[in-house]
Structure 1
Amino acid sequence: MSKGKIKLILKWLGRLITVFAIAFVVAKITDYSQQINIKSLSAQTYFITAFCVLLYAFGNLLLARAWGLLLSGLGSQLKRNSMIWVFGLSQLAKYLPGNVFHFANRQILGVEQGINNHTLLKSSAWEVGLMIVTASTFSTFLITYYFPGLTWLSLVSFFTLNAVLAGILLRISNINCVKAFGLYLLFFTLSGSLFSAVYLSLSTHDGVGQWSLLIAYFVIAWLVGFLTPGAPAGLGVREAVLIVLLGTTAHQETLILAVLLSRIITVLGDLLFFAIASFYRPRQKISTN
């Protein structure tokens, strides 16, 4: 089979994955929305949810930039438009069963933009490793879960651990890897903050002291979902972990509503970023290896 035919097959395979991903996401949005009593939501909750969708779409931009930095650290350069397009169009495929299709689609689109397969594979490996390590650092906030009066120790442990990890990354890799690590920290903090905002808008509890712990719970739930084999984008797993972690302190109905709204926010945010990324389609190959 000629090289041209292989490229054509890969291109259509990428498009097929994207179409299936969109259909799967729309089905999930419909399913989640049917589980929520729309009439019970206040105008404030609607506003917060919509605003969180916009912020989560921005969070995807942080992830795309981090991936671009990893590529740069591996010797390949992608211009901003191409980086956003490749990452944004492939990201929706994470919702397909298997939890690997976004990497496969990114591989296809990346090769189409002139990046070699080996570099793309290494960037994906670095991305997975860094995201797992970064998310794991939020477990330091569990100190507050067991010892409520030691919030300061959680914060000190969190910042100290991340400073040490940044130093290690700088020694074993390069500054671009450290910058990507920082962007992953920002992304997880943002994602957890969005869940916190939704949860606290529905809860009657004073949320000032809960904010950092809620962020940690969300990130830990994300990590468990991410590490669960076959769970597309952690669907079901993340929600179950959040319910377990917060089940003893939160009103059950409020908690379930917050968890469902949080998932709708992430799905709609990913869909919005996909739509935005579609406008960044590069006209030609613009990578340098």
Structure 2
Amino acid sequence: MLAAVAAAVWAVVGNWAEVSDAMSRLSWWQVALSLTVSIVFVWLTMLAWRVILNDAGDPVPGASARRIFFVSQVAKYLPGGVWNFVAAAEMGTDFNISRRRSVTVLLMSMLVSVLTGLAVASIALLFGPANLIEKYWWVLLVIPALLVVLYPPVLNTVVHRGLTFLKRDGIEKPFSGRAIATAAFWSTGSWILAGGQVWLILTGLGNEATVETYLLTAGGYALAWVVGFLVFFIPAGVGVREVVLAASLAGLVPAGDVVVVVLLSRILFTVADLLLGLGASFSIRRDAKGAL
């Protein structure tokens, strides 16, 4: 985190003239709207996860599912890349959800996010800067592998054998194609909104509000997220996603605007995670006190 902050500060200082001018063009309502879009993005991600969670066992009430997801997502900012799994597994036991189900479902939802993210990211790879596909072409190789893995007969076999290898019981119910497709629908919607957040910041800085610009920002953010996810040893893709998003927008907007977009986009998504996570945590504590 310190290295990422230092890199961000260096980028701001190195382009201070452009950044200060660009920041003066942002209004408070544009930032507020971008934050709202960020919150809805996280919410749609939760809906995709909840579909798979309910498909793997007894249905979980909406309020309980939201609390588990939003609180556990804050843990992804810790080093190691596994703490959101640990948090979801431990919180799930309070709602009669087995640890193996929590971990398996969260992994499946992430795979769906990666697959749909890659589909959106292909826009940036095909129509973005020429050097982008030269550097990140390898991420497209993940698409056919995920299509095979997420095919229900294959998916259920892999999950069963994996849990057997770990000497754990299987999940309550096999995954269905309908649930995977529904989760992919919500996940795709989240990528559309993520692109909208970046697009709002870009247009707020005075860049041209065109469909072409939106498609590139949506594809660029999805590509940045996927690469950050694959580089799993860095907490929440800190630093990596910023580099990829900046590379996707290179040539589209001035250098100073790219710095502002990258930094502000990252901050708003982090704030959205924190607001939803803290809100869910407070609601859990409030209900716990009320039960005493």
- What TM-score does the superposition give when structure 1 sets the normalisation length? 0.73
Which of 61, 75, 97 does residue 79 from structure 1 map onto? 61
Once the two structures are superposed, the pairs formed by residues 131-210 of structure 1 within 5 Å of their partners are 131-141=113-123, 142-145=125-128, 173-174=175-176, 175-210=178-213
Is contact 1:203–1:254 with CA below 8 Å preserved after alignment?
no
Is contact 1:189–1:215 with CA below 8 Å preserved after alignment?
yes
Q: Does 1:274 align with 2:274?
A: no
Between 193-202 and 274-283, the greater mean CA deviation after superposition = 274-283
Equivalent residue, structure 1, for 2:108: 126
Is contact 2:26–2:205 with CA below 8 Å preserved after alignment?
no
Q: Secondary structure at the match of 2:59?
A: coil
Q: Does 1:63 align with 2:42?
A: no
Q: Secondary structure at the match of 2:128?
A: helix
Pair 1:204–1:119, CA change in 2 (3 A): closer
Q: How far, CA to CA, are the matches of 1:93 and 1:43 in structure 2?
A: 34
Which of 52, 63, 79 does residue 97 from structure 1 map onto? 79
Equivalent residue, structure 2, for 1:258: 261
Deviation string, structure 1 residues 95-152 (Cα, Å, up to 9, x no partner): 11122211111111011221112211220221121111111111331333379xxxxx
Equivalent residue, structure 2, for 1:53: 35
Q: CA deviation at 1:230?
A: 1.4
CA RMSD of aligned residues (A): 3.1
Matched residue type, 1:217: G
Q: CA deviation at 1:177?
A: 2.2
Q: Secondary structure at the match of 2:276?
A: helix
Pair 1:134–1:258, CA change in 2 (3 A): same
Equivalent residue, structure 1, for 2:171: none
Equivalent residue, structure 2, for 1:14: none
Between 40-49 and 243-252, the greater mean CA deviation after superposition = 40-49
Q: Does 1:41 align with 2:23?
A: yes
Is contact 1:169–1:178 with CA below 8 Å preserved after alignment?
no
Which of 208, 229, 245 does residue 242 from structure 1 map onto? 245
Matched residue type, 2:126: I
Q: How far, CA to CA, are the matches of 1:186 and 1:51 in structure 2?
A: 17
Q: CA deviation at 1:169?
A: 5.0
Q: CA deviation at 1:242?
A: 1.5
Gaps of 5+ in 2: 131-142, 155-174
Matched residue type, 1:143: L
Matched residue type, 1:250: V
Q: How far, CA to CA, are the matches of 2:23 and 2:38 in structure 1?
A: 21
Tell me how many residue pairs correspond in the alignment. 240
Q: CA deviation at 1:41?
A: 2.7
Q: CA deviation at 1:39?
A: 8.6
